[in-house]
Structure 1
Amino acid sequence: MEQAQTNAERIYDQVITFAALYGGRILLAIITLMVGLWLIGWITRLLSSLMAKQHVDRDVQPFLLSMVNAVLRVLLLLSIANTLGVETTSFVAIIGAAGLAVGLALQGSLANFAGGVLILTFKPFRVGDLISAQGFTGTVEAIRIFDTILVTLDNKTIILPNGPLSTSSITNISTKGIIRVDQVYTVGSQNDLDATKASLLRVVNACPYALKDRSHDVLIAKLNANSRDYDVRVWTKSETYWETYYYMLENVARQFGRDGIEAPKPKMFITNEEPVIA
């Protein structure tokens, strides 16, 4: 009986000693955990509200929020461990080494992920836009977190990694809503200048895709030895760029035939002079 009482008193003393030594730290760690979780939730909600006000794409919001949430939770756990007196240097070193190893193994994917976030955030182009990038021209069918899908004019599907795409030059043909179709036509210098311009203007004015509230140009661009180059500039909507382009090519050829506008003819000069041998 006395032995049991002695053991109980010893355990009680140890509990009291442990509480005296670590009770404050444990209580502070619990408070830190509760306050930290509340702050993380508040920061996450605030960030979500700010992204909504800035019209950040809904596809990228979950990724950003989850990344911020994960980073804040890791910092909170390190803070709690430090409060309890646990040495956090080794934990930080382990996390850093693991992050470095994962980063090196997935650096291509991480670059594409970061590129996808930038594209979805800053929107250099949107789904449905006609763009030229990485040597390809096509309509954007989808913008995914790791890649962007283009459909070319000949209906080929091109998958472009977002990493290089976000750091290279992009020509967005659809941004302004209207675009100018520039073409050059070469005719023989034997053709009447005014007749040639009138023939080109007939096609421009008849083009169903040409904007009626814009002025279109037919200009002499270059005078060659036996030909003239004409710049023809037609304004149209972005989505009808190629329709305008091919309409002009076909119908200019037809109109030239009707109006008798001829192509350049090579000239050859023949003389009867005998060659002089020096």
Structure 2
Amino acid sequence: MMAKRKREITQAKIEKFIKEGRGQGSGKDYLPWLRIQDVPSEGRATRGVGWTTGRRHELLSDIERDYCYLLDYSDDVSDIREQFPLLPLEETEMIAEKLGVEHPADPKTGVLIVMTTDFLITYKDKNYARTLKPKSELENERTIAKFEIERMYWETHNVDWGIVTDFDLPDTLVRNIEWVHKEFHNDDVTDLGVFVVQNLQRVLSERLYSGESIARACLACDEQIGVEIGTSLALFRHFIARKIWSVNMNERIVPTLAPKEFVVNEIVERLAKGG
């Protein structure tokens, strides 16, 4: 049996994290303060390669994952830094004291915890701090006290801070992004070569324009071009993810139906977000 990971916070652990450079860097080089293995996660912790950053994100709950999909899909977001530490610790300590609330501490060691904000986002060259919480937890007094520390911290740093709940997330759009997400980085594009990919684009788009269902058009395209079954469907998702093609993302994409408002965007931005 594997030894249970020690999750307690000690002064040595905080110093180790700082030395490792956690909470520092940007883009691909940013190191989140917390990793999935450092905390008991709510829901399924996921690590997908981000479109915006090109690195794996440490997302500790379903709501964080869903919000990250939306950020990835936005052309105006240039950086996503999750589990961002509110450092130096003395600063949040002073704020808690000023507010007359208890600063979060480790229940076992009593050591003060470095607080984190779920996301620090660079949107149109400006930073925004966002905290994710299910709406059901917003009534909790302790949660509100922690939010107040967070809010004041960001206020002193002149960064816009806000709370996002599960009710704020457009579920259909999120699920559609999730469906295409992993095909953003698709090896077939380079393996098949430009000629085959362009041919596939032409054949598949003609079929989709004629009103055929996604699944049927993709299968027929695989057979016509002579590629492995499933290739066209993966590339359909890739073209949507890269915005080379577009469909109505606010209506659920159902492979057994024709795509809604299907358009081949004239400009094929080969090197869209993420290169």
TM-score, normalised to structure 2, is 0.27
> Would you tell me which structure has more strand in proportion to its own residues?
1
The structure with the larger Rg is 1
> Would you tell me which structure has more helix in proportion to its own residues?
1
TM-score, normalised to structure 1, is 0.27
Which structure's relative contact order is higher, taking Cα pairs within 8 Å and 6+ residues apart? 2
